[in-house]
């Protein structure tokens, strides 16, 4: 394995991590932002008020995007295994 191949594999790893993690992170970020605006408007500063909606939003995001995430991860894993096989030849 050359340095270029290792860098390419690392780049792909970070790219797939960002792509797969983005939907859940963005949805929980938006829910947290909405709750923060609501808390600021009503002056209710309860720390536990943010946890339940964020957890529910993350679960909904995983339910909606879970199959797509799994397909992306399986494809990435197949590519890695194929690359390992080609390196062994």
Mean pLDDT (whole number) for 74-82: 93
Amino acid 47: pLDDT? 77
What distance in Å separates the CA atoms of residue 61 and residue 82, rounded to the nearest whole number?
Answer: 31
Domain range annotation of the chain = 20-88
Average the pLDDT over each of 42-46, 63-67, 74-78 and give the range with the smallest value.
Answer: 42-46
2-49 confidence digits (pLDDT tens): 888 889 889 999 999 999 999 999 999 999 999 989 988 888 877 778
Residue 63's pLDDT band (boundaries 50, 70, 90)?
very high
Cα separation of 25 and 53, whole Å? 13
Per-residue confidence (pLDDT) for residue 17, from 0 to 100: 94
pLDDT range class, residue 84, cuts 50, 70, 90: confident
Residue 57 CB: number of other CB atoms within 10 A? 19
How far is the C-alpha of 10 from the C-alpha of 5, rounded, in Å?
Answer: 9
pLDDT score of 64: 95
Token digits of residue 51: 């946890």
Residue from 57, 46, 23 nearest 38 by CA: 46
Q: Which residue has the tokens 């797509």?
A: 68
């Amino acid at each position: 394995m050359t340095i270029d191949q290792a860098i390419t594999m690392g780049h792909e790893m970070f790219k797939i991590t960002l792509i797969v993690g983005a939907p859940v992170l963005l949805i929980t970020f938006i829910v947290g932002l909405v709750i923060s605006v609501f808390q600021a408007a009503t002056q209710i500063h309860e720390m536990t008020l943010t946890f339940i909606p964020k957890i529910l939003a993350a679960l909904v995001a995983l339910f909606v995007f879970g199959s797509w995430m799994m397909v992306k991860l399986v494809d990435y894993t197949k590519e890695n295994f194929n690359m390992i096989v080609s390196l062994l030849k």
